[in-house]
Chain A
């Protein structure tokens, strides 16, 4: 059974960085792209970027280009998303999501459970 399990909730101060993990299981890690999406409280979904677990190539939304980094560890089948220079508007639930196919830009068939990040002084 396919699972994406994310790291736990975090509280950070403005200016800090956050690194969230997304541990995958139940499928061949390198065959499916992973995206990151966030959702501010009571708001809609916002796409942040994509990583190819096979070679590690990435693509980021322009809004996050300067402060997001997505990486992967093939030995543990885990994806990481690091966001720096946090501000209060970064308070949100962050999701990793797997693409349901061998292309990067396909719908997301499996989602992690979400990681709540609160940015507060």
Chain B
């Protein structure tokens, strides 16, 4: 099973700042099949990024993903008020699918 470790656990930033979230895998993710989701309180997760760097439908271009192998990054170029949420990475290169523990992006 691939274990995904996200860091930091919490990121305290101000609107307009840049957010950099990390997701590290315990072994190489097949075909870089890694996704990022955003979750707000009381809501289901929403797909942001898939295949490491492709934006899902309707996702603004301030969200970008990068990485390969075992190290992946989600970058939010300039934080908007609606971006403060919890972010999860997920690998779907093989079974079992696994998720990271999440990074909370909070308002400083």
A95 CB–B CB distance under 8 Å: yes
In the complex, besides A44-B88, A44-B99, A61-B96, 7 extra interface pairs with C-beta distance below 8 angstroms are A44-B100, A45-B37, A45-B90, A47-B96, A107-B35, A107-B56, A108-B37
Q: Which of the residues B44, B47, B57, B96 comes within 8 Å of A113, measured between beta carbons?
A: B44
A89 CB–B CB distance under 8 Å: no
- CB-defined A-B contacts under 8 Å, sample of 22: A35-B97, A44-B102, A45-B45, A47-B97, A47-B99, A59-B95, A61-B95, A105-B33, A105-B93, A105-B95, A106-B50, A106-B92, A107-B35, A107-B56, A107-B90, A108-B45, A108-B47, A108-B90, A109-B56, A111-B44, A113-B44, A114-B44
* Closest partner residue, chain A, to B56 (CB atom): A109
Residues of B within 8 A of A114 (CB): 44
Residue-wise interface mask of B (46-89) relative to A, using a CB-CB cutoff of 8 A (1 in contact, 0 not): 11001100001100000000000000000000000000000010
Question: A44-B99, A45-B88 in contact; A107/B45 too (CB < 8 A)?
Answer: no
B98 CB–A CB distance under 8 Å: yes
* Closest partner residue, chain A, to B36 (CB atom): A107
